[in-house]
Amino acid sequence: MSSFKLQDFCTPFNKDSVNLPLIHNKNDLLFSRILFYVDNAESDYLKISDIAIIGVPEERNSDNKGCSAAPDKIREELYKLYAPSQLKITDLGNLKNGKNVNDTYFALTEVVFECFKNETAVIIIGGSNDLIAPVCTAYAKGKKQFNLCVIDSVFNLDDNPELISSQNYLSYILNKNKNIFSYTNIGYQTYYNSPQEINFIKSNFEAVRLGIARTDLFGNEPFIRDADFVCVNGRSIKMTDAPAAVKPSVHGFYGEEICQLAKYAGISDNVSAFGLFDINPKYDNRNQTSALGAQIIWHFLESFYQRKGENDKNIIKKYKKYIVNITDVSENLIFYKSQKTDRWWVEVPYHIKDKEKVYLLSCTKDDYIKAGNNEIPERWWKFFQKLN
């Protein structure tokens, strides 16, 4: 039996801080539809919830001083919104800050891992982006290989992989977490990253430059669909839409674009954790960025309850199959299309101990069309090399 107790890790969110709008029926607001954790309550919150929300007011390993206030500020905006559907969501309150930052990391890993054990998806509201690392540790603790997708303008690859900070958390994850299978960045801006960093990421992982990501927003959906953990950094958003950043950028995603990316994360059957980091209320303008952060989370919640249960077994057994022969590839490319959602997948064959296996990779219809024109889809080729 687990000895895990929420009161050891969390303090309840102060519901009285939410200034509810003057409307006739407040029962339709998220405020009235969400279960709030209360100290020493008997309820087993995680077993009765589809999603848990946890705030992490931690910033000690970051130069973004003030972002620890974001979890409560974002909630104050979130709970004033109308509920998108029937919900089974618990707000677990805020993680207690440890005596040192490593204690906070440990506690966050424990709480997220407990959510995973109960098959409860988790939304993490930071706090600084170094908190991504202990969430990834929760996947490793469960001995699960995972895919990480980060929407950010920079890679965070500073030199020292032994320490966790907001500048090098990715170095730490890639060097220390043996359970990470793939990493994708969406929205990097070339002038913020060295040529060496860009070359390293694009050679070993996946990255979509901001201009390309914005030109074909739907083209980002397969990367997000394959992820287990999707993170949004506040500085990935254009400063006119999200001014609350210690280092805002004149370029970035528009508010409606970042909300669309959050929808892709919510509707993915794979995504079990969603994080929002580095929003700093100290620099906000009339709570503009906190309100956008709330709407990002709202769009994740709305699409979460539209999931279709499109897992690997169902796709291979039940979905329409398209077989394409490419001249320079010894294997036929086998595509699948969902009749429910029009989403596409492609098989990536590989071998383990002389046994033939298949990795099902998310893709787009354009990849199928390219294969029909005798072109090897870039993403398929990268994963084929990775697996073989």
CB 48, CB 87: distance < 8 Å: no
Q: Please check the confidence at residue 1 and state whether its pLDDT lies above 50.
A: no
CA atoms within 13 Å, Cβ hemisphere of 292: 31
376, burial (CB in 10 Å: exposed 0-12, middle 13-18, buried 19+) = middle
Taking only the tens place, the pLDDT of each residue in 222-238 is: 999 999 999 999 999 99
State which amino acid sits at residue 171: S
Average pLDDT (46-62) is 95
* Residue in the structure block whose two tokens are 């209320």: 281
Q: State both tokens at 189.
A: 């801006």
Q: How high is the pLDDT of residue 23?
A: 78
Question: What DSSP letter does each residue of 222-234 carry, written as one string?
Answer: HHHHT-SEEEEEG
C-alpha separations of 355 from 60, 237, 360, 388 in Å: 48, 45, 16, 12
> What's the predicted TM-score (pTM) here?
0.96
178, burial (CB in 10 Å: exposed 0-12, middle 13-18, buried 19+) = exposed
C-beta atoms surrounding 258 within 10 Å = 26
Phi-psi map region of 40: left, alpha, beta (phi>0 left; psi -120 to 50 alpha): left
Average pLDDT of the chain is: 94
Taking only the tens place, the pLDDT of each residue in 333-366 is: 999 999 889 999 999 999 888 888 999 999 999 9
- Of 260, 127, 107, 241, the closest CA to residue 186 belongs to 260
Domains of the chain: 7-304 (3.40.800.10), 312-387 (no CATH)
Q: State both tokens at 310.
A: 């499109």
Taking only the tens place, the pLDDT of each residue in 140-162 is: 999 889 999 999 999 999 878 78
User: Is it true that the peptide bond before 127 is cis, omega within 30 degrees of 0?
Assistant: yes
Q: How high is the pLDDT of residue 2?
A: 63
Cα distance between residue 212 and residue 208, in whole Å: 7
Taking only the tens place, the pLDDT of each residue in 261-309 is: 999 999 999 999 999 999 999 999 999 999 999 999 999 999 999 999 9
Q: How high is the pLDDT of residue 42?
A: 60
Average pLDDT (206-224) is 98
pLDDT range class, residue 311, cuts 50, 70, 90 = confident
